[in-house]
Structure 1
Amino acid sequence: MIAHIVRMTLNAGASEDAKEAAFASLRNQGEVIPSVRSYVVGPDVGGDFEWGAMYVLDDLDGYWEYLKAPAHRHTDEIGLPLVDRFVSFDITDSTDPTIHQKIAELHRRRYAEDPGLTALVQALPSYDGSANPQD
């Protein structure tokens, strides 16, 4: 099982309508991507970020399906331009000692296949996560 988690703070200029559209799109990912077993989208409580989302996936195949889903790409397109600070990370119960490398490779592959996405992520003022294309 892999829990993919994102935390974010939005830029001060983001309109309420744009924010709501982005959060609706994050919730939609949980509803329409078949590999998502459960999800939570909402305020980040007790941390240094304003908002967060978590998607629970069974395995690496499901993770790849999640990453490549059109619903996920739509969220990136409308949501990333609103973000000031962003972090993504994963928690897993996998016993595979190379799971972190395999997850990072999925992200690298996704960026390699989608230069537009890479540009969106590289434009973020602050991003930390697997296979960060800003590195």
Structure 2
Amino acid sequence: MIYHGNRFTLRPDASPEQVEEALESLRNQGRVIPSVKSFVVGRDFGGDYEWGAVFAIEDLDGYWEYLMHPAHRNTDRVGLPLVDRFASFDVTDDPDPEMGAKIAELHQRRYDNDAELTSLISDLGEYSGSAAPGKHGSASATVRE
């Protein structure tokens, strides 16, 4: 099982309506993407971020389905423009020592084939984690523009 998580802080100028639209889009991902087995979206406590989401996905094929699903793309479109700081992480019980690199490669393949997404990501104030573009497997990579 792979638990894919996101932690984020929104820009101060994000309206309450925009915030709710983005959070509802995250919740919708959990409801409609077939490979998502369970999920949680809500306030992030005990860290440096305001919000968080975690999606449980069985395997890499399911992870790719999750990444490419239109519901996920909608969250990118409505949510990323509101984000200031973003961190992604993955926790897995899979014994494959290359799993981190394989997950990062899925994200990189997605960025390589989606110029609009890459532009949205480059506008973030801070982006760290295994999914950060060009940072395969690096849990401490940070993109700053």
> With structure 1 as the length reference, what TM-score do the two structures score?
0.97
Which residue of the partner structure matches residue 55 of structure 2? 55
Secondary structure of 1:104's counterpart equals: helix
Secondary structure of 2:52's counterpart equals: strand
Which residue of the partner structure matches residue 130 of structure 1? 130
> Does the Cα contact within 8 Å between 2:85 and 2:126 map onto a contact in 1?
yes
Q: CA deviation at 1:131?
A: 4.2
CA distance in structure 1 between the aligned counterparts of 2:100 and 2:22, rounded to whole angstroms:
28
Unaligned runs of 5+ in 2: 134-142
Q: Percent identity?
A: 61
CA distance in structure 1 between the aligned counterparts of 2:37 and 2:131, rounded to whole angstroms:
24
- Report matched runs for 1:87-106 at 5 Å: 87-106=87-106
Counterpart amino acid of residue 54 in structure 1: V
Matched residues, number: 135
Secondary structure of 2:22's counterpart equals: helix
Which residue of the partner structure matches residue 74 of structure 1? 74
Which residue of the partner structure matches residue 15 of structure 2? 15
Q: CA deviation at 1:132?
A: 1.8
Counterpart amino acid of residue 95 in structure 1: P
Between stretches 17-26 and 121-130, larger displacement belongs to 121-130
Change (3 A) 1:29 1:131: closer
CA distance in structure 2 between the aligned counterparts of 1:46 and 1:129, rounded to whole angstroms:
18
CA distance in structure 2 between the aligned counterparts of 1:19 and 1:131, rounded to whole angstroms:
22
Once superposed, what is the RMSD of the aligned Cα atoms? 1.0
CA distance in structure 1 between the aligned counterparts of 2:100 and 2:8, rounded to whole angstroms:
22
Counterpart amino acid of residue 95 in structure 2: T
Counterpart amino acid of residue 48 in structure 1: D
Q: Deviations over 1:31-67 (max 9, x none)?
A: 0000000000000011110000000000000000000
CA distance in structure 1 between the aligned counterparts of 2:67 and 2:78, rounded to whole angstroms:
16
Change (3 A) 1:37 1:112: same
CA distance in structure 1 between the aligned counterparts of 2:27 and 2:131, rounded to whole angstroms:
24
**Higher relative contact order structure (alpha carbons within 8 Å, sequence separation ≥ 6):** 1
